[in-house]
Amino acid sequence: MDHFDEFSRPLEYLSPMDRHLRSVLRRFIEQEVMPVRRQYDEDWKEHALIEPAFDRLMGELGLQKALFPQEYGGWGIAGSDYIFRFAYLLCEELGRADTGMAVALAVTFWPLLVIHLEPYVNKRLIAEFAPLFCGTNKAMFAANAMTEPQGGSDIENMGLLKGRTIRTTARLEGDEWVINGHKLWPTNSGGVARLFGVPCTTRPGSSDIDDFAFIFVPADAKGVTQGGPYEKSGMAADKNGDIWFDDVRVPVWYRAHGPGRDAEAFYQLIPFGQVASIAFLTGAMMNMYERLYEFVSTRTYRNRPLKENPAVAGIIGRIAGDIDICRILGHEAAMMGDRRNTPYGLPLISEELVGKIRNIKDFVSDRAVENLGKVMDVLGCYGPDRDWDIEKHWRDIKIIQLWMGGKQLCQMESARYFFNCETL
Amino acid sequence: MNKGLDYLFGITAGDRDGDAPGVISLARQWAAKEVIGNRLDYQRNYAALFEDKARVLALNMGLQRLAVPEDQGGFGWQGPNHAADIAAVLSEVGRADSSTGILLALNYVLFSVLTRFSEGRAGFVEAVATSYLEDELKIASCILPGPGSVGEETPLFKGRSILARVKAHESGFVISGADLRPFAAGLKADLLLVVCADERGRPCIAVVPGDAPGVERGRGLLTTGLNALANADISFVEAEIKQENLIQEPEAIPLLFTLLNLFLGGVSLGAGMNFFEILLDWSDSRIICGATPLKENPLCASVLADAAEEIACSRLLLDGLARLVSPGGNVQSLDAEGLYTYAVMIGARVQQSIMWAINRGMELMGSAGYAKEWHAEKHWRDVKTIQSLLCGVGAEAPAKMDTARFFCDCKEI
């Protein structure tokens, strides 16, 4: 194999933007990210290095506009039939360089998808928020404020809990929603995002999905308090922190769609988030392959290149094989999302689609965690060395396995679909 | 945690006698008082506090002198009969901080090797011992054989390239080698155990003072874990050492590997046990599905069981290895080759098991396992670093070759 691009992907699945966008992103990455990414960890709080790269990526190259309709200056991707494949390409290419940067961009799309994806389109809110993202050359972030202190990622378990454990409340007073609650860990929190999508309940303790509300809250609204970013093991380009909503008032029409439809539109985010997660992982693993290739070709065991030793070859061959398989699966997951409006597709809110995509994400996460750990061992005393980049990916991608309900929720969703479990 | 660590994982601890229970208890008190009890402060000011806390343990509490021979003012734990006790002490230290554990472990390895091969170098051993009695933190490290570079033929130790060379010079030797990667503490090490090859390509160990002329230290490295130990590559430019600083006995390098696997296994086991304490605390206090404590959910309980199983089995394996190092009673005595093979096998397995336990446990902790605040992620990074350093280049492949050579008489691998 001559190049990491030759890892398999079904060519008939590629979106019309694939070739052009991939080349633009790769140039950006080589110029703006690769030369400095080893310093990102120390920049986790200030983002002095990271912020200019985001300005270039999201503002100047314009990726933050991608979802919005062209009439607002956007690219109209949300209205296309290839948004999942577009996201896959974007997240994989960025993930090759820095998964933290990839997730910060992808999560900006996340709450906006709730109002953009047919059949859940809210034109008034699109018009309201378009200028924020389409009218500037500076990076502009959004965040999905989901996780709460008491229940971890129970909120992502909509299939079973239907919002029953949510404690962030939305109370209607006149023509305003009044929001109270505490959220943890959203990507792009810690002072970064300008707009939050906030899942909340209009009736605490209710399992009726009509009581689930998805409400947009500007970060500068009165009563919104953000904590500083958490210090983490990796993913420095993705800031996370606490957000408190204390009698925060927003217009009544900042609710995405209304009773019942909010929950359905929100549930669409799960497969999108999982597909993006798979893409981060295959991107990171492709860069892992690049660095591993260099190491095993230039370093020796018994005075022969490592890769020519059959025992080592057995290990690295399996690793490369896993990348190949994971990439095929990732593209299949993206295509499952993009088939949603075809006669042979499944709606994004179907248990089958969610279960199958979660299953692929769980599988790819496990392969990525195991393979990056193994590659660190192949590099031996150089494995933990920042200069070889493997350890950065190893630290960064662990959180991808853990987020969105983690491995256990993936297993449960999968069991629910494949075995018709009723109580999990 | 209702049941203590000793009850859960220390089922063979009753074998210890003499001073061992007291010293182990001392290390546990240090861990609790100096680090675990002030975890957040320790984490936030790690660079500054690491050395202070290590000094308390090594100097004030005397653990720096633990493996210094008794007739030279130490506690005399340098012999194989104390290997199990040292591993247990290191587990207590590893519960608190792996870097401190590694610092002590490397010192204990140094004295165990020096005193095992002390014949003809009594003056040198005494001088090193004396320096360890001073009120100054001492740091030893080692440079092991590792990957070579394509196009360079190097002498080998069991397939691994030996990158340092010694040759006779006047009444001693000079050692040469460029950009060698120490196990740890390249910026700070006072003494280095360097696996090198003599003029005939035979593997040996040079004990090189860090301040010897010709020792050049590179820039500080950023690494996944163990950053407090400040590693850097080291080059030897015709660095002179005395004759007694070169250990040419064939059993020396296998012993070095054996002790590293046992002692660093002890450190990682300690980190794993403390991770388990953190994990239990988490699974006791957090709920799933709106009401159920994590540990009462069958899927989560199975993850907890996985973690417990790996840690408990690692403890038993390490106890077994310690008995092999110090055979007695009904334990069969192994030659250096056999002991080396068992140590490499068990060492690799223990590191894999602890990493597996931590990886599985982090799945339950979700994002909290990833945040520095909970300290779980530090154990994860530190143990992974130890594993990568210890297992050597090629992942488990070289260790598998060692095992196949011993058990199957392979000749060409």
Give the pLDDT confidence of B72-124 residue by residue, as tens digits.
999 999 988 899 999 999 999 999 999 999 999 999 999 999 999 998 899 99
First to last CA, chain B: 48
Alpha carbon distance A253, B388 (integer Å) = 55
The answer to the question of residue A424 being in a domain is no
CATH code of the domain in which B111 resides: 1.10.540.10
**What is the ipTM metric for this complex?**
0.94
Compare all CA atoms of chain B with the CA of A316 and give the residue at the minimum distance. B394
For residue B267, pLDDT over 70 is answered with yes
How does pLDDT run across A12-64, given as a tens digit for each residue? 999 999 999 999 999 999 999 999 999 999 999 999 999 999 999 999 999 99
CA-to-CA distance for B336 and B255, rounded, in angstroms?
A: 7
For chain B, the 3-state helix, strand and coil shares in percent, each to the nearest 5, are 60, 15, 25
Neighbours of B242 (CB within 10 A): 15
User: Domain residues for A150?
Assistant: 144-261
Residue B247 φ/ψ, nearest 5 degrees: -100, 110
What integer pLDDT is reported at residue B302 of this predicted model?
94
Residue A373: count of CB within 10 angstroms of its CB: 21
**CATH label of the domain that carries residue B215:** 2.40.110.10
Q: Do A315 and B290 touch (CB under 8 A)?
A: no
Distance, CA of B294 to chain centre: 34
Q: Do A210 and A242 share a domain, yes or no?
A: yes
Residue with tokens 């069958």: B298
CATH number of the domain that residue A57 is part of: 1.10.540.10
Continuous segment of H or E residues that includes residue A280: helix A269-298
Cα dihedral sign, B407-B114-B233-A372: positive
Cβ distance B341 to B188 under 8 Å?
A: no
Contact A54, A101 (CB under 8 A): yes
Domain identity same for A367 and A323:
yes
- Residue % of chain A over a pLDDT of 70: 97
As a whole number of angstroms, the distance between CA A400 and CA A403 comes to 5
B70 and B28 within one domain: yes
The answer to whether residues B19 and B54 belong to one domain is yes
The residue that leads in pLDDT, A319 or A412, is A319
Regarding whether A316 and A180 lie in a shared domain, the answer is no
- Our CA dihedral for A114, A115, A119, A124, rounded to 10 degrees, sits at 160
Pairing of strands B140-143, B191-197: parallel
Tokens 């190049």 locate to A3
Among B384, B385, B408, the residue to mutate for chain A (most A Cβ within 10 A): B384
Residue A151 has pLDDT above 80, yes or no: no
Question: Is residue A420 scored above 80 in pLDDT?
Answer: yes
Residue keyed to tokens 């200056």: A73
Mark yes or no for CB contact A379/B388 under 8 Å: yes
- Does B101 lie in the same domain as B198? no
Is B394 among the domain residues?
yes
CA distance A148 to chain B (A): 11
As given in the structure block, the two tokens for residue A100 are: 């933290």
Q: List all residues 6 or more positions away from B103 whose beta carbon is below 8 Å from its beta carbon.
A: B54, B58, B139, B184, B185, B229
Residue of A165, A299, A395 with shortest CB distance to B290: A165
CATH number, domain containing residue A290: 1.20.140.10
Please judge whether B221 and A373 are an interchain contact, meaning their C-beta atoms are less than 8 angstroms apart. no
B394 vs A161, A378, A412: nearest CB:
A378
**Residues B259 and B396 placed together within one structural domain of the fold:** yes
Residue B221 has its nearest CB partner, among A185, A314, A385, at A385
Domain residue limits at B121: 5-137
Q: Would you state the structure tokens that stand for residue B94, as one six-digit string?
A: 């590893």
Task: Count the domains in chain B.
Answer: 3
In this structure, the dihedral spanned by the alpha carbons of residues A158, A164, A165 and A170, taken in order and rounded to 10 degrees, is 100
Q: Are residues A132 and A14 in the same domain?
A: yes
Non-local (6+) Cβ contacts of A323 within 8 A are: A7, A282, A285, A286, A288, A289, A371
**A183, β-bridge pairs:** A243
Domain assignment present for residue B103? The answer is yes
Tell me the average pLDDT across B287-299.
Answer: 82
Among A261, A293, A327, the domain-final residue is A261
Cross-strand partners of A71? none
Is residue B40 located within the same domain as residue B61? yes
Tell me how many degrees the CA angle A239-A282-A350 measures, rounded to the nearest 5. Answer: 85
Sheet holding A299-301, edge to edge: A304-305, A299-301, B148-149
Predicted confidence (pLDDT) per residue in A118-132, tens digit: 999 999 999 999 999
CB-nearest to A301 from B367, B396, B398 is B398
Q: Which residue, among B207, B111, B147, has the nearest Cα to B398 in the 3D structure?
A: B147
- Write the residue in A153, A184, A303 that is nearest to B154 by C-beta: A303
Measure the CA–CA gap between A87 and A77, rounded to whole angstroms. 10
CA-based nearest residue to B159, from A144, A303, A90, A163: A303
Q: Are A143 and A197 in contact (CB under 8 A)?
A: yes
- Tell me: do B145 and B262 sit in the same domain: no
Residues of B in contact with A311 (CB under 8 A): 394, 397, 400-401, 413
Whether residues B129 and B26 fall in one domain: yes
For all residues of chain A together, what is the average pLDDT? 94
Q: Do B224 and A382 touch (CB under 8 A)?
A: no
In 3D, which of A81, A135, A131, A156 has the Cα closest to residue A337?
A81
**Statement to judge: residues A132 and A29 lie in one domain:** yes
Q: What percent of chain B has pLDDT over 70?
A: 97
| Residue where one domain finishes, among candidates A217, A243, A261 | A261
Q: Does residue B223 lie within any of the structural domains?
A: yes
pLDDT for res A152: 62
Let me know how many helices (H) and strands (E) chain B has, helices first.
13, 13
Q: pLDDT, tens digit, for every residue of B193-233?
A: 999 999 999 999 999 999 999 999 999 999 999 989 999 99
Residue B215: inside a domain? yes
Q: Is residue A90 part of a domain?
A: yes
| Residue pLDDT, tens place only, B33-47 | 999 998 888 888 888
| pLDDT band at residue A149 using 50, 70 and 90 as cut-offs | confident
Residue B168: count other Cβ atoms within 10 Å of its Cβ. Answer: 12
Distance of residue A1 Cα from the nearest chain B Cα, in angstroms: 20
Give dist(CA A268, CA A199) in Å, integer.
13
In 3D space, the residue among A159, A128, A339 whose CA is nearest the CA of residue A251 turns out to be A128
Same domain? B262 vs B291:
yes
In chain B, what residues touch A153 (CB-CB under 8 Å)? 366
Bridge partners, B167 (sequence order):
B174
Q: Give the 3-state DSSP-derived string for A159-222, with helices as H, strands as E and coil as C.
A: HHHCCCCCCCEEEEECCEEEEEEEEECCCCCCCCCCEEEEEEECCCCCCCHHHEEEEEEECCCC
Same domain, A273 and A191: no
Number of Cβ within a 10 Å radius of residue A137: 12
Q: What is the crossing angle of helices B298-325 and B336-365, to 10°?
A: 160
Residues with Cβ within 8 Å of A89's Cβ and at least 6 positions away in sequence, in order, are A14, A15, A17, A18, A21, A22, A25, A279
B262 and B385 both lie in a single domain? yes
Whether A126 and A78 have beta carbons less than 8 Å apart is answered as: no
Q: Is B371 within 8 Å of A302 when comparing Cβ atoms?
A: no
Burial per residue of A24-41, b for 16 or more beta-carbon CB atoms within 10 angstroms, e otherwise: ebeebbeebbbeebeebb
> Cβ atoms within 10 A of the Cβ of A52, count?
13
The tally of domains found in chain A comes to 3
Give a yes or no: residue B413 inside a domain.
no
CA B159 – CA B398 distance, rounded (Å): 7
pLDDT confidence band for B179 (50 / 70 / 90):
very high
Residues of B in contact with A145 (CB under 8 A): none
**Structure-token match 């046992």, residue found:** B262
Question: Domain of A244: which CATH number?
Answer: 2.40.110.10
pLDDT of residue B367: 87
B229 belongs to a structural domain? yes
At B18 the pLDDT is 86
Final residue in a domain of this structure, among B200, B226, B247: B247
Subunit contact B149:A402, Cβ cutoff 8 A: no
> What are the pLDDT digits (tens) for A350-391?
989 988 999 999 999 999 999 999 999 999 999 999 999 999
pLDDT average, residue stretch B158-163: 94
By C-alpha distance, the chain B residue nearest A149 is B286
Residues B277 and B177 in one domain: no
Cross-chain residue pair A378–B384, CB shorter than 8 Å: no
CA distance B119 to B2: 51
Based on the fold, state whether residues A272 and A403 are members of the same structural domain: yes
A288 and A404 belong to one structural domain: yes
B25: in domain: yes
The Cα of A381 is separated from the nearest Cα of chain B by a number of Å equal to 4
A133 and A153: one domain?
no
Picking from B149, B159, B290, the nearest residue to A298 by CB comes out as B149
Distance from CA of B149 to the nearest CA of A (A): 4
A interface test, pick of B43, B143, B222 with most A CB neighbours within 10 Å: B222
Whether residue A246 is found in the same domain as residue A283: no
Closest CB to B299 among A298, A385, A408: A408
Q: Is A117 within a domain?
A: yes
Same domain assignment for residues B269 and B233: no
Residues forming a β-bridge with B232: B220
Residues of chain A with C-beta less than 8 angstroms from the C-beta of B349: none
Kindly report, residue by residue over B344-366, the tens digit of the pLDDT: 999 999 999 999 999 999 999 98
Domain membership of residue B242 (yes or no) is yes
B133 with B147, same domain? Answer: no
Q: Answer yes or no: do A222 and A321 share one domain.
A: no
The predicted pLDDT at position A159 comes to: 66
Whether residue A385 sits in one domain with residue A340: yes
From A108, A139, A170, the end of a domain falls on A139
The whole-angstrom separation of Cα B9 and Cα B28 is 15
| Beta-bridge mates of residue B246 | B206
